[in-house]
Amino acid sequence: MKAQTVPPNTMQRLRRNIGKALHHGDRIWQWLTIGAGIGVALLLLGIGWMLWRDSADARSAFGLGFLAPTADASWNPVLDKFEAWPFIYGTLITSAVALLLAIPISVGIGIFLAELCPSWLRLPLGWMLELLAAIPSVVFGLWGIFVFLPEVVEPLGTFLAGTLGLLPGIGALFAGPIPASGASRLAAALILTIMIVPTISAVTRDVFLAIPRSQREAAYALGATEWETISQVLVPYGLSGVLGAVILGLGRALGETMAVTMVIGNSIGGAVSLLRPGYTMSSIIANEFAEAVSRLHSQALIEIGFLLFIVTLLVNMAARFLVWRVARRTPQEGRA
């Protein structure tokens, strides 16, 4: 392996010049780096394996029915009967709404930062978004409980219940009333939106910045306006990268725990409405794992953790792949 990567002439010189002891030192160094590399790679497998092992009883007891969508799922520690659908639904609906809101905002920000904003403003704006991403989750939760929920979510929820909630079909998603504290799936979705916008917009910006200048020049030469250049040339060109950014945001939304647990109301509800309290996969683990006494109960929670692990694994792999593809396709020219 060494011979492949270090130029042969260097190797010869090394061989000639250094004593045995130092060569020995290099061996140790090499093994250390390889060991650390293997350790990092194994860590991921280890996490997956441990969660898989520790959920064996729950998997054999509940089978695939554990994950199946049911209108009347039971999560019953008294009878030791567990079905995870309410939490899967909660995670899916809050993440979906968060993405729906975050995509236009983040892509807008990405475009603004990469294409339009004056260069002296780009750096500070980018920083501010990164600061937003750096604020700890619990601080979002605290602010959510005492400020955001009563002042934004509750009035918004009441408004939605009185308008969209009356529509047939989709109205079920907005059936009111929202609890007066505002704690609801909607609250979780909105907080998630705020939390994933920085992630998506930062990657989108980078994707746009990586698009070669020639693409833009060609569009302008054909007489396109800036917006036409962006929407008809740049967005299609960077689409897979933007998609990657969105999926990366989805990954963050799926796994977010503390802020969601603090604002979602923690109710294993049968109701589908966004305006009712609910649970997500991560928040049920946070609330119940330390207290789950029966073996099946804690194993059911570990199984949810395993599921969360696998889903975020797939999501992140997909995102990396997409972003990576854009980066690789982009020739060296760049935009300097």
Partner 1 sequence: MGKKMFLVMTGLCTAVLLSACGTAAPATVEVTRSVNQTVVVTPTADPNAAAPLPAGSVQINGAGATFPLPVYSAWTFAYQYVDPSVVINYQGIGSGGGKKAIIDGTVDFAGSDSLLKDEEYTSGKDLQMYPMLAGAVVPIYNIKWAKEIPSGTKLPVMILDRQTLVDIYNAKVVTWNDAKILATNPDLAEYLPGEAITAVHRSDGSGTTEIFTKSLTAFSPEWTAGGASAVEWPVDKAGNGMGGKGNQGVAAAVINTPNSIGYVELSYAVSNGMSYASMVNKAGKIVVASAESMSSAMSDFAGSFSEKLTADIVDAPGALSWPIAGYTYIILHTENMSDCIKAQKLLEFLRWALTDPGAAKQASDLGYSVLPEDVRDTVLGKLGEVTCNGTVLLP
Partner 2 sequence: MTNTASSTHFIRARRGYTRRRTANAVMLVLTGLTTALALIPLFWIIGYVVYQGGQYLTPAFFTELPTPPGTEGGGVWNAIQGTILLVILAGLFALPPGLLAAFYAAYYPNTPLGIAVRFSTDVLAGVPSIVIGLFLYALVVVVQGHFSGLAGGIALAILMLPTIIRTTEEMLKLVPPSLREASLALGAPEWKTSLQVVLPAAGNGLITGFLLGLARASGETAPLLFTALGNEWFDFRSLIRSGLESGMNPLEILVRIIEQPVDSLPLTLWKYAQQPYPERIHQAWAAALVLMAFVLAVNIFARLWILFRARRMKG
Q: What part of residues 241-270 is at the interface with partner 1 (CB under 8 A)?
A: 265-270
CB-CB contact of 154 with 181 (8 Å): yes
Rounded to 10°, the helix 185-210/295-329 angle is 20
DSSP one-letter string for 56-119: HHHHHHHGGGGTS--TT--EETTTTEE--HHHHHHHHHHHHHHHHHHHHHHHHHHHIIIIIS-H
Q: Distance (Å, rounded) from C-alpha 282 to C-alpha 301?
A: 9
What, of partner 1, partner 2, none, does residue 105 touch, CB below 5 to 8 Å by kind? partner 2
The 38-77 site mask, x for binding partner 1 (CB under 8 A), equals ----------------------------------x-xxxx
Residue 136 or 270: the one with the smaller Cβ distance to partner 2 is: 136
Distance of CA 17 to the CA centre of its chain: 52
What, of partner 1, partner 2, none, does residue 254 touch, CB below 5 to 8 Å by kind? partner 2
Compute how many residues bind partner 1; rule: CB under 8 A: 34
Residue 299 or 316: the one with the smaller Cβ distance to partner 1 is: 299
What, of partner 2, partner 1, none, does residue 291 touch, CB below 5 to 8 Å by kind? partner 1
Q: State the residue for tokens 């990366």.
A: 248
| CA distance from start to end of the chain | 36
Q: How far is the CB of 143 from partner 2 (least distance, A)?
A: 5
Token pair of 62 as six digits? 């509940």
CB-CB contact of 91 with 254 (8 Å): yes
What, of partner 2, partner 1, none, does residue 327 touch, CB below 5 to 8 Å by kind? none
Stretch touching partner 1 by CB under 8 A, among 32-40, 173-181, 221-229, 231-239? 173-181
Q: How far is the CB of 44 from partner 2 (least distance, A)?
A: 5
